[in-house]
Amino acid sequence: MTDAPRSGRGAGGADGADDTDIEREEGPLGTYLRGVAMGSADAVPGVSGGTIALITGIYDRLIAAVTAASPALARRALEGLLGDRDQLRAVWAELDGAFLLALGVGIATAILTVTRALHVALEAVPVLTYGFFFGLIGASAIVLRDEFRVDTTGRAAAAVAGAVLAFVASGSASAALGESALATFVAGAVAVSAMILPGISGSLLLVILGQYERMTEALSVFVDALLAVATGGPTATVVETGVPVVAFLAGGVVGLLTVAHAVRAALAARREATLAFLIGLIVGALRAPVVRVGEEVGAWSVAVGGEFAVAAAVGALLVVGVDRLAGGIDLD
């Protein structure tokens, strides 16, 4: 976790303060566009929205806003909604509400758009798509290699535990959580915690949990239902298809209030061991795209392997390019 990102980024330091002031002057449109960039990154496994936040200079502001959320603040907000408008305005300012709203709308716009395209790609060209994901995931582990040292038994154990957990959980599309509303809720809570982790992708965590394909499909179906209603279709379809989406979003809200704080506390208390565990997750998750391709094609062949390798190279180059643009992911 970084409370002081690279020089000239975020709110830390003189340069960071200037960047934050500039961002505020740009207004909601600039924040919205940053959200679009973050959402586009978060929609694909292996690319982190937190990294995009670093690149665009809003990481510290995002962390401050996210960690300001708490049950106590929620109670104050409820009091404000019940009549204390001054209290409500104070809570909105403390949360940096205008910033989060514009950023959230941008993220949602991108996720709805990109996941729809990825759903089509998963159906039409699964080998190329999963190969691309493999490259994204693998390169993410590589660009983070300098962020931790496995020089103690505890850190080595943490790295192995993360890798084994992800490897086992990535064994099949139905592994890990299943498809219940509770599973979707938990997936949302876990995935949203990656928002505060540069280099760790929320979509990657969904892949590990066996929820990625399911959620991309659920979002696509839900958007189709909304479009159908706009042209006179039945509203019942929106309610039916919206259940997993609402469960996921509800989990995300709870995740912001709980999981995100727990991850940040773990990084503050045991940074090296926590990073070792998280990077172990990335390495173990490399199994998931390979397994999914096997499920799609039945058996690997030279042709399938070649397609997979080419797509993986493209994905890896994308992550390396983003990392170079960011100046190297810094989690100190």
pLDDT digits (tens, 9 = 90+) for 94-149: 889 999 999 999 988 988 888 888 888 988 999 999 999 999 888 888 877 766 67
Confidence at 25, pLDDT banded by 50, 70, 90 = very low
Which of 126-140, 148-162, 165-179, 262-276 is least confident? Answer: 165-179
pLDDT digits (tens, 9 = 90+) for 228-243: 888 887 888 788 888 8
Residue 314 pLDDT: 94
Q: Which comes out higher in pLDDT, residue 48 or 216?
A: 216
Question: Whose CA is closest to 190, among 116, 278, 269?
Answer: 278
Q: Over 90: is that where the pLDDT of 291 sits?
A: no
- Those residues whose C-beta lies under 8 Å from the C-beta of residue 188, and which sit 6 or more positions away, are 247, 248, 249, 250, 251, 252, 254, 255
pLDDT digits (tens, 9 = 90+) for 190-207: 887 776 666 677 888 888
Identify whether the C-beta of residue 207 lies closer than 8 Å to the C-beta of residue 187. Answer: no
Q: Over 70: is that where the pLDDT of 326 sits?
A: no
| Most trustworthy range by pLDDT among 58-62, 179-183, 305-309 | 305-309
Rounded Cα distance, 184 and 206, in Å = 10
Q: Over 50: is that where the pLDDT of 45 sits?
A: yes
- Those residues whose C-beta lies under 8 Å from the C-beta of residue 26, and which sit 6 or more positions away, are none
What does the mean pLDDT of the chain come to?
79
Domains of the chain by residue range:
13-326
Tokens of 211: 């929820």
Distances (CA, A) of 182 to 21, 114, 244, 249: 41, 25, 9, 12
Mean pLDDT along residues 306-313: 96
Length in residues, the chain: 332
